[in-house]
A and B are shown apart, each in its own frame.
Chain A
Amino acid sequence: MKADPRDVLTGTYYIDGDIAIAYGALAAGCKFLGGYPITPSTAAAEAFARKAPQVGARFIQIEDELGAIASVLGASWAGQKSMTITSGPGYSLMMENIGLGAATETPFVIVNIQRGGPSTGVPTSTGQADMMQSKWGSNGDYEVIALAPDSPQEGFDFTVKAFNLAERYRVPVMLMADECVGHMTEKVVIPDASEIELETRRFYKGKKEEYKPFKRDKSLVPPMVKAGDGYKLYITGLSHDESGHPILDKKLLPDLDKAGVTNKKSTNRFLVEKIRKNRDEIIELREENLEDADVIVVSYGIISRVAYRAVDMARREGLKVGMLRLITVWPFPEDRIAELAKRIKGFVVTEINYGQIVFEVDRCSHGKTNIILVPHGGGSVHDPDDIYDAIKKTATEKKRYQGVLEYTTSLERSVFGGSMAEKYGK
């Protein structure tokens, strides 16, 4: 399906990432935004609120982030494409309901404009330290999809993509932007509605009485219905079977073995399987100069733009450096990393944290290559020279290390007067 021309603000703009994300949501046909103000994501909610009446969308600013995401789940079951926008601490508050959303297979989009953490941290500066949280933050097992834009233009494009993925897989999709992307003003081109391809929600078409909310076919994604269509559907966050009803039998409860028997009927495993099995369809990567590369820089989001400069510097010096940019951070491109690891000298992973995605790279390389982390605590982005140095070090390194090697950045040296790890004899 093509986008509705009424929703698409076609034209060339000079706007910041937050606004681009709001416009992307509108273009994707998002009709509900539940939010709570938090720096640095507020501009997005404001832009959405301004434009909402024109396209018949609704905006509600609710009493807290728990309420915001709960309202989004509700709106999604009412048949609307819905999303919420937040940042670090708000994201932490949403964890319980992200679990509910995943358990009830509710399609929705969460935009997280990451800032420096933990806790209140540096609200007006950047960070990328919520990446693992986006996958593991709620209790129990589930899979999500996470995308990382690096510019306002991608903010627009990926928001549309996020809605498409959410509708196709009935899963929470996280748009993991950061403060730099959110507050950066750049040219954004919004294409004609006819050029924006949208995924429509797959609705159930059979007989009303036979409808089971979680009965799935080969695609592993069950079709949905709307609240108010007369299905009298029942949805619960308790472990449920196909019919959507909890598999709790009072008689069985004290006896764990028997409670487990009913557990087999549980649809929980599909929550992970539907993403893991469709991994190849979901994953998108940007690869540059990988064919002859000795060293590959792995990055995502804003930091990939810094890394490009370092890669450029290294290339000009004749070092064979490639660039692998994660567009989808979750699910993680395991196979691709494993394949590349076999033939290179090392991965240089740059992120604005003290090691999150680098552990995934380490895992998927199966010890076949060196892994160098160029960390950063947040508050600003890396110095490209640091990344360049790390590339050079990796390219010339003969020794094979066990585990992630943490590069001592110029920032660490300036603050602690050297490498902390060395100081404490590690």
Chain B
Amino acid sequence: MKASEEEKKHPMENLLRMDRIPHIWCPGCGIGNAVSAFAEAIKKIEYDLDEICVVSGIGCTGRVAGYIKTDSFHTTHGRGIAYATGVKLGNPKMKVIVISGDGDLSAIGGNHLVHAARRNIDLTVICVNNFIYAMTGGQVAPTTPRTAFTTTSPFGNFESPINIPRLAEAAGAVYVARWTALHMRRLTDSIVEALNKPGFSFVEVIAPCAMYYSRTNRLGDGLNMMKFYYDNSVIKHGEPTENVDIGFQEEIVIGKFIDRERPTFSESLKSWQQENKTGKQGGID
């Protein structure tokens, strides 16, 4: 039986830039899953697609913006959140999502992550954690587990990795969750929650690099490794984030860690503006 034109279409066609497919990601990479989950979530929240803006930094995950058919920006390394802050403040109607990698968001852009969470600005940040700098060829990242080999830690990584959910919580994020790239349904639901949550929400997706991380550490192919983390993860909602460190080939904790309320930046700004209309502060001359 021949497939109809409708059936031939990709189910996410109105959400993806089909003229950009095939994408640049390697076989076995988890970023594709994250994009699927994100696209599914966008569908679910039934938000006007014209009012969604995706901002990315640089890196493998940084290329996500180029495949999502909304207003989308591929900016400089680490500055996706800062750029998104401008977008959100410039046009508060927009739903602004930052999708980027672990190196981009927690190393070079660490400061912006901290301060955007502190301000509690209305952003959803999706961080695909692949344990490595993949775009540049597999260098050690702040998220690389101890003892793992990379091209710039050829004798095993001796630095302690960063626990990004804990950082996000400490800085003030109102929603923090972590899933692996194979927990598709839970990840999607989590992104839906994050998108609906006013304030700064953060979702980490564990998707170790299928090329550089697995190859240098001899961990099999991408699917193998995704499967490993799927099998070796325990879901513990509300787990204190201090317990969610990631060790080399160890069991990881996933789930929704934080869901709380804090006044958002937009609310604070609005009330501030109301109070300060027409030159209460003095000003002229």
Contacts and interface: CB of A to CB of B under 8 A. Distances in A.
Size category of the binding interface on chain A: 20 to 34
A304 B152 CA distance: 33
A289 interface: no
B12 to A, nearest CB: 26
Contacts of B139: 37, 42, 45-46, 61
Contacts, number: 50
B155 interface: yes
B37 interface: no
A37 B212 CA distance: 14
B36 interface: no
A63 B141 CA distance: 8
B78 interface: yes
Interface string A12-46: 00000000000000000000000111110011011
Contacts of A65: 108
Nearest to A66: B108
A49 B108 contact: no
- Classify the secondary structure of B's interface with A: loop
B152 A49 contact: yes
A42 B136 contact: yes
A59 B140 CA distance: 12
Nearest to A65: B108
Given A37-B139, A63-B107, A89 B76 contact: yes
Interface string A97-126: 000000000000000000000011000000
A426 interface: no
B151 A46 contact: yes
A43 B139 CA distance: 10
Most A Cβ at <10 Å: residue of B78, B108, B133, B140: B108
B24 to A, nearest CB: 12
A373 B107 CA distance: 41
B262 to A, nearest CB: 27
B58 interface: yes
A128 to B, nearest CB: 21
Most B Cβ at <10 Å: residue of A42, A43, A59, A65: A42
Contact of A120 (B76, B78, B136, B140): B76
A64 interface: yes
Interface in B122-143: 133, 135-137, 139-140, 142
A59 B78 contact: no
Given A63-B110, A89-B76, A120-B58, A37 B155 contact: no
B152 A46 contact: yes
B155 A53 contact: yes
A305 B77 CA distance: 33
8 contacts: A37-B133, A37-B136, A37-B137, A42-B136, A45-B152, A46-B154, A50-B154, A59-B152
